[in-house]
A and B are shown apart, each in its own frame.
Chain A
Amino acid sequence: MSAVKYTRDHEWVKIEGNTTTVGITDFAVQELGDLVYVELPVVGDEVRAGDRLAAVESVKAASDVFAPVSGEVVEVNEALEDEAGLLNESPMDEGWIARVEMSDPKELDALMERAEYDEFVKEATH
């Protein structure tokens, strides 16, 4: 069983036990346009929810990706180093950015479900 939750900064978190996979949403990718570079975190990094986890860069601009939860980075998607375009092609799957071992699962309660996130996006773009 896995669940996916969303942040107001347009990250998604897939939850499998204590391990989370983090990426940026389809909406974020559409807004950013062609992504050309991703700065990944380093395995072993300790992050706190709200810290900068990674950076994604389009032709036009650099944008921070924030850690949705606190914990330790246990894996990063190295495929993005050579092919940032994976983020455009498959933001919710092959374009995942990092896996974080949660230190405080209660933080998930602050995140949104998909329906809530869709509503949030609708309001933000209105």
Chain B
Amino acid sequence: MLELRKTPLYEAHVEAGGRIVDFGGWALPVQYTSILEEHRAVRERAGLFDVSHMGEIHLTGPDAMAFIQHLVTNDCSQMQVHQIVYSPMCYPDGGVVDDILVYRVCENAYWLVVNASNTDKDYEWIVRNASGYDVTVKNISSQVAQIAVQGPAAQTILQRNTNCDLDSIKFFWCAPETMIAERKCLVSRTGYTGEDGFEIYCKPEDARLIWDTLLESGRTDGLIPAGLGARDSLRFEAALPLYGHEISQDISPLQGNLGFFVKLGKSEFIGREALAAQKEQGLGSRVAGLELAGRGVPREGYPVVAEGREIGRITSGMFSPTFSKGLAMALISTEYARPGTELAIDIRGKAVPATVVKTPFYKKAYRKE
């Protein structure tokens, strides 16, 4: 564990009894007390997550927007200052480099928030594709810590610690230079849990104070720290894709159910031709939600079978804490991907019946107004 990277909140996790694991080279808590308890806290009250391992890449320059449009599949051209757009970023063959959030932090500067384990790869990819654009690319990941407060009580708790009127931050918008616990932060109404909540970007040296202040202030509301285990089970129920699972170098955003974020009609972008061809010729397979009818727990990698043959594999699966049943997302032949289709999952050699269901499994009414 000696070479693992530590976030500025590492000591806080150890002091709180967090079980530290190697998460893509980062020493982070998978849980503090119990994944189920932390999961429920976020669904019913609030949870606090250290997501400082996430990467941030800063783009600025006259061509910044044109360059972003070239890099990502979603259409960012209508972004307003302080708006945020989610998008896949693809290879020319339509495979996914990463899925990212684009923050327009001011008139001509953008942050790309990327998956921790992809940060170096993304940065290299972005720099390599920047030739011909008047743009400056900086990897500022080590200068930014990130804390997420998520759950129905998140706003109440955060509001106590800031002068910013949080009602003014709409879903997928941000407020730079917001003071939280008297430290300057960038705050956005975003998250990876399927609940309302905020993500707070701050200086690494301010992270501990903000973390402790929020935890103390939210204690009576039931706020508890939540680890990577709950983060994964929460995002899974909300059917939010995880890079390397529902999308990857080999699973295109169209296959990963992210067609809404692929705007083939916008100007040229990397991967457009391949994705247009996929759409034209058919995807072959795509990600679908599965609900286990029999007993058991579907897990990543388990084969999905229909009519006696394998038609795909599970990309993420678990025993859903909210629904108390086995649920999965699986990359399966499109002909079997329609909701209501009866299939089976091969669990340790036993075919357990399952049904294709619509995703997300869990849907919360986000504050969008």
Which residues of A approach B to under 8 Å, CB–CB? 33-34, 36-37, 39, 55, 57-62, 81
Q: Assuming A33-B229, A34-B36, is B299 touching A62 (CB within 8 A)?
A: yes
Is B299's CB under 8 angstroms from A59's CB? Answer: no
Cβ 8 A contact of A34, one of B19, B35, B296, B299: B35
- Kindly state whether residue B128 has any CB partner on chain A within 8 Å: no
Within 8 A of A (CB), among B300-327: 318-319, 321, 326
Q: A57-B297, A57-B319, A60-B229 are in contact. List 7 more A-B contacts (CB 8 A).
A: A34-B35, A36-B36, A39-B296, A55-B348, A58-B35, A59-B321, A81-B295
* Cβ contact within 8 Å between B295 and A36: no
Chain A min CB distance to B47 (Å)? 15
* 30 examples of A-B residue contacts, CB within 8 angstroms: A33-B19, A33-B30, A33-B31, A33-B35, A33-B229, A34-B35, A36-B36, A36-B319, A36-B321, A37-B326, A39-B295, A39-B296, A39-B348, A57-B297, A58-B35, A59-B35, A59-B36, A59-B39, A59-B229, A59-B233, A59-B318, A59-B319, A60-B35, A60-B229, A60-B232, A60-B318, A61-B299, A62-B297, A62-B299, A81-B295
Within 8 Å of chain A (Cβ to Cβ): is B34?
yes
What residue of chain B has the Cβ atom nearest to residue A62's Cβ? B299
Across the interface, name the chain B residue whose C-beta is closest to A40. Answer: B295
Determine how close the nearest CB of chain A comes to the CB of B35; give it in whole angstroms.
4
Q: In whole angstroms, what is the CA distance A117 to B232 when docked?
A: 33
A36 B30 Cβ-Cβ under 8 A = no
A72 CB → nearest B CB, Å: 21
| Docked complex Cα distance between A33 and B30 (Å) | 10
A85 to B37, CA, bound (A): 13
B35 touches A37 (CB 8 A): no
Compute how far the CA of A9 lies from the CA of B291 in the bound complex, rounded to whole angstroms.
32
The reply to whether A37 and B297 form a contact with Cβ atoms under 8 Å apart is: yes
Question: In the complex, what's the smallest C-beta–C-beta distance from A46 to chain B, in angstroms?
Answer: 17
Complex Cα spacing A33 to B33, Å: 9
A57 to B19, CA, bound (A): 18
CB-CB < 8 A to A60: which residues of B?
Answer: 30, 35, 229, 232, 318
CB distance from B34 to the nearest CB of A (A): 5
Decide: A37 and B319 in contact? CB cutoff 8 A.
yes
- Do A36 and B297 have beta carbons less than 8 Å apart? yes
User: Which A residue sits closest to B19, measured CB to CB?
Assistant: A33
Closest to A52 in B: B348
Task: Name, among A33, A34, A61, the residue most crowded by chain B CB atoms within 10 Å (CB to CB).
Answer: A34
Give the docked Cα–Cα distance between A61 and B316 (Å): 11
The reply to whether B296 and A37 contact each other, CB–CB distance below 8 Å, is yes
B324's nearest neighbour on chain A, judged by CB, is A36
Question: 7 tightest A-B contacts by CB?
Answer: A36-B319, A59-B35, A34-B36, A57-B297, A37-B297, A34-B34, A37-B319
